[in-house]
Chains A and B, each alone.
Chain A
Amino acid sequence: MTGGRWSVGVVAAVTLVAVGLLYANATLLAAALIPLAYVVYGALSTLPAEPSLAVSRQIEPAAPAPGERVAVTLTVENKSESVLPDVRVVDGVSAELTVEDGSPRLCASLSPGETRTTSYTVVARRGTYAFDRPLVRLRSLAASDRLTDELAVEGDDELLCATAVTTAPKQHRQTRHAGTVTADSAGSGLEFHSTRQYRPGDPLSRIDWHHLAKGGEVTTVQYREERTSRTVLLLDARPVNRVTHSPGYPTAVDRCGYAGERLHELLTSAGVETTVAAVGLDDELATEGVAWADPTRKTLTPQAVFEAVARADGGRQPASPPAVVSPSASVGTDAGGRERPAARADDGDELERVLVRLPSNARVVVCSPLLDGWPVELVRSLAGRRADPLVVSPDPTEGESLGQRLLAVARAHRIDELAPAATVVDWPPGEPLELRETAPMDQLQR
């Protein structure tokens, strides 16, 4: 409770009386009644003895995907028997979430039993976000009496933006079959490849008995070799990609990480041996900027790489919001205005390091927003492999500003450049990834 709001009325009344007396002016003397009336008004106007409010909150959908818009509805009801002329409510939205539409604040005059609602939309980011209790401030009609309190809320108080790997792990299929991908080389398999001179140690089942019966020469049948289907999932987490099209939305790197986790889950559940790699990391897990989680070596787990990518993106630090994408993003600045390098100074070396470690028989999936030429160069370097690379590209250029439109044109040009050499999945913000990945994923899982 505060008092003295209308003490200004006393000062005004005293001044009017003083000047009125000095000039012997009846009008000014009488005018002192007006501020005095306000002084009385301020003193008499108070809040009810026991104001009572009920607040409830509804979050829809409760488990959204990153970047998805979530509607939050806050309802306030006057449970007391008195009129509350000035009720102000501020919902306790987590500082890490950005309100995109509407307002989490409510202002109303409530009669007994009256209900008011405010709705707003937040953009989901990966993680679990707890909502604080709403802060309520009541004022009397003259605004001279004030009461501030936090209220318990009924309904939802948490936003859970689940990631793919946090769901229950599936039992991976164990198969004796070497793999599903046929190679040009001769070895064990099902499809006939060639015959050769028998060598001691060749299994009897592979001796060509017909040839032996015809000519008396012992030969061994060779089949087209079948190898394990192997995929390398490469996440482009370089600083140049740590941008978003609008404040509050996940950055392109964040979405790359999300796409990587979804792809990893789908591929491993389909029995595809999947290596997860990330470039542009300054994390201790990364060797010279590249983190490599090879399932055969088990030195680094895919989950560790995904977490390193999330850390590189700033994690969930609201104090360092990501930069909004702009034409200068490639040589841009972060939110604090500090100059930020477009990419690592040794981009060429980084490309070499990735290419050296890529197994020759592996399919490559690149998750990159294509904001510079590095991924294009990478895909060009992969030309001639047995399968075209797949590029999953979260689009961070959706915006109305001239700079964002220019950047979108440059990005579209890069997608066109990649088209002959790779399958590109363009992933606009606000749309679920599942709808976009069906056809290419079928190819990957074959």
Chain B
Amino acid sequence: MTATRHEWAPARVSATVALVTTLTVVGALLWQFGDVRWPVAFGAVGAVLFPLGCWLLSDDEPSGVARAAVSLCTLPVGLGLLGSVAGGALVLSAAAFPVEDGALVSVSTLLVAGQVGVIFGCVLALLGVTLGVRNVLAPVVLARYTTTAFLTALVPGTVAVAIGVEAVLFGADGPRQLANEFLTAAWLWLSAGSPTVLPVAGLLFVLALALVSVLAATIVLPVAVVVDDPARLRRLRRTLTAGSAVVIVLVPVAFWAELASASERSEPAYGTVEALSSVRPLRFGLLSLAALALVATVSAALARWLARHATDGFVRVAGPLAGGTVLTLAAALIAVPVYDRLLELVLEPFPPETAGRVEALAVEAAGFYGEELFAVSLAFVLVTATLCAVVALRLVRFAGYLSAETSGFSLASAGLFVAVVAAGTVGTPTWLVLGGVLASLLVWDSGRYGTTLGREVGSRTTTRGTELVHVAGTALVGLAGALAAFALASRAEAVLATPEPTTPIALAAVTVGIVCLAAAIR
């Protein structure tokens, strides 16, 4: 009694009820706790990207491009899931500490812990409801995600280790420094920067580069499709080939001639040639042409190759590795601003004297290892966080604590419950706590009901009436329970407001008893 794989989507009304309820409660909590809005917004990005990645991997045979896209998403997912909680804790700690009185440390810690719980719960709820609505959390998808995240993490991990080893072995004059110097010198020569070196050879080299790039583009790109006369294309290719060959031959000649005539550079004729060869707009024009042609050529060749080998075994591995490479390069490029901003955030809660000492240490470490090491390591940590989250999900499902059919909505319900309980510990209004608990159970029930209904009768069957009957029943029962709880809470507050000396012992005993009862139920 199971619908086909393509029809296996949760029934609409139940899924909508679960989605709207989750968003409403999360919205109410964010309205109540203004300090957690940004961390939750970060988490929401991860909560949306993770199901997107699962959806990309849910095809029968995901292509290398899809795996590369998922690989690129692993970092923002890690940033959303881990960064939201860790960053939120950092920001909240910065706001709460230092405290004026030592006795307030525990209170501030509990307040921060409660708000971090709200962040974690809200992010988990958003993640769960997105997964539930898309219903993409199949075991095979999680296995693919694990492989993809692992292969992605390999690249920044390896690069970070390599940078660290290079820094330890070579210090500041390592191969990276040499490569930087070489690239800088090469760019100055090609772009006719100051001081001008071997300008004629440089111009000829750039010209050869542009000609060869355009020739490659005419060969690789499907130019023949848009050119009416094939003979013209052949003539163009012949001309470009001949021109490239001539210029390539002239490059070493000019190089040698300029080196040999270094002593005669004071002659006016050479000055004129040097001035003409060093016109920077000309150089930039040729370099842009070469770059454009090369990018087009490589893109076309890559697209063609991917189209032919999209499902090959090699591409399955190459996709995540390519994604990891892009993430590593991006991390290295934005290393300095990221490092500075993180340092600023970390130092904010410390007293100025301590912050100054830590900052000096950090600057010294950055000077020795380079900011790139920290940025690439951070990328590795975030991708690994995603990997750990996926592995944790698989373990929880393997242990039977999460239903295979309704994992998404179960996570959403658990997230809402955690957020509401955490909010309840930091003085949230009674109506929000009771409403939140009711909402978390309503999300669990309607999500589970809608998912099983969709799986059993498919999404093409009309189910609205039956769903409304079920959801209305659940909501009414929850409402009755919430009203009873509200009445009880009013009376209980009066009782708990006057504690006896034995109250802490009684509370501890009851807690131990409840934990034992829960264990027995499991």
Contact = CB atoms under 8 A, between A and B. Distances in A.
Interface in A367-397: none
A29 B492 contact: yes
Interface stretch (A100-108, A179-187, A214-222, A275-283): A100-108
Nearest to B452: A143
Given A11-B518, A24-B507, A35-B481, 8 more contacts: A17-B514, A24-B503, A30-B434, A31-B424, A32-B485, A88-B457, A102-B460, A103-B461
Interface stretch (B46-54, B212-220, B354-362, B437-445): B437-445
B493 interface: yes
A46 B434 CA distance: 27
Contacts of B179: none
Interface string A21-55: 11111111111111111100100010000000000
Interface stretch (B169-177, B190-198, B282-290, B465-473): B465-473
Nearest to A33: B485
B294 to A, nearest CB: 31
B449 A107 contact: no
Contact of A16 (B61, B437, B445): B437
A358 interface: no
B457 A105 contact: yes
Contacts of B521: 7, 10-11, 14
A194 interface: no
A25 B462 contact: no
A90 B457 contact: yes
A162 interface: no
A8 B443 CA distance: 12
A105 B458 contact: yes
A29 B518 CA distance: 16
A200 B444 CA distance: 106
B437 A12 contact: yes
Contact of B457 (A37, A107, A141): A107
Nearest to A83: B469
Contact of B437 (A31, A118, A135, A143): A31
Closest 9 interchain pairs by CB? Answer: A37-B481, A30-B489, A26-B492, A34-B481, A30-B488, A105-B457, A33-B485, A26-B493, A103-B460
A137 interface: yes
A148 interface: yes
Contacts of A19: 421, 424-425
Contacts of B440: 12
B3 A21 contact: no
A239 interface: no
A33 B445 CA distance: 17
Contacts of A86: 466, 469-470
Nearest to B418: A15
B430 interface: yes
A109 interface: yes
Interface string A86-112: 111010000000000011011111000
Interface of B is mostly: helix
Nearest to A9: B441
B1 A135 contact: yes
B470 A34 contact: no
A14 B438 contact: no
B484 A33 contact: yes
Nearest to A86: B466
A16 B488 CA distance: 14
A85 interface: yes
Given A12-B417, A86-B466, A107 B489 contact: no
A18 interface: yes
Contacts of A16: 421, 437
Contacts of A143: 445, 449, 470
Contacts, number: 161
A137 B489 contact: no
A142 interface: yes
B274 interface: no
Contact of A27 (B1, B453, B474, B489): B489
A255 to B, nearest CB: 26
A28 B424 contact: yes
Q: Chain B CB within 10 Å — which of A23, A36, A37 has the most?
A: A37
6 contacts: A14-B521, A24-B499, A37-B478, A37-B481, A90-B1, A137-B1
B486 interface: yes
Nearest to B488: A30
Contacts of B517: 14
B519 to A, nearest CB: 10
A141 B496 contact: no
Given A86-B470, A103-B461, A137-B456, A37 B514 contact: no
Contact of B466 (A26, A31, A38, A108): A108
Contacts of B482: 34
B441 A88 contact: no
A220 B323 CA distance: 95
B501 to A, nearest CB: 14
A88 B514 contact: no
A103 B463 CA distance: 12
A107 B470 contact: no
Contact of A107 (B428, B461, B495): B461
B410 to A, nearest CB: 8
A118 B461 CA distance: 9
Nearest to B433: A27
B499 A31 contact: no
B477 interface: yes
Nearest to A8: B444
Contact of A24 (B465, B477, B496, B518): B496
Nearest to B489: A30
Interface in A100-128: 102-103, 105-109, 118
B239 interface: no
A23 B474 CA distance: 29
Contacts of B449: 143
Interface in A278-301: none
Interface in B293-316: none
B17 to A, nearest CB: 14
A34 B485 contact: yes
A446 B109 CA distance: 101
B515 interface: yes
A37 B469 contact: no
B250 to A, nearest CB: 48
B269 interface: no
B507 A34 contact: no
B511 interface: yes
A107 B13 CA distance: 13
A28 B433 contact: yes
A9 B481 CA distance: 12
Contacts of A141: 469-470, 473
B28 interface: no
Contacts of A28: 421, 424-425, 433
B435 to A, nearest CB: 10
Contacts of A88: 1, 453, 456-457
B470 A31 contact: no
Interface in A390-428: none
Given A107-B461, A108-B465, A22 B488 contact: no
A105 B421 contact: no
Contact of B469 (A7, A27, A85, A137): A85
B3 to A, nearest CB: 7
B224 interface: no
Contacts of A27: 424, 428, 430, 433-434, 489, 493
Nearest to A14: B518
A41 B518 CA distance: 20
Given A15-B421, A143-B449, A37 B499 contact: no
A21 B503 CA distance: 10
Contact of B515 (A18, A24, A90): A18
B478 A34 contact: yes
A41 B188 CA distance: 78
A141 B475 CA distance: 12
A434 to B, nearest CB: 33
A90 B521 CA distance: 36
A30 B496 CA distance: 12
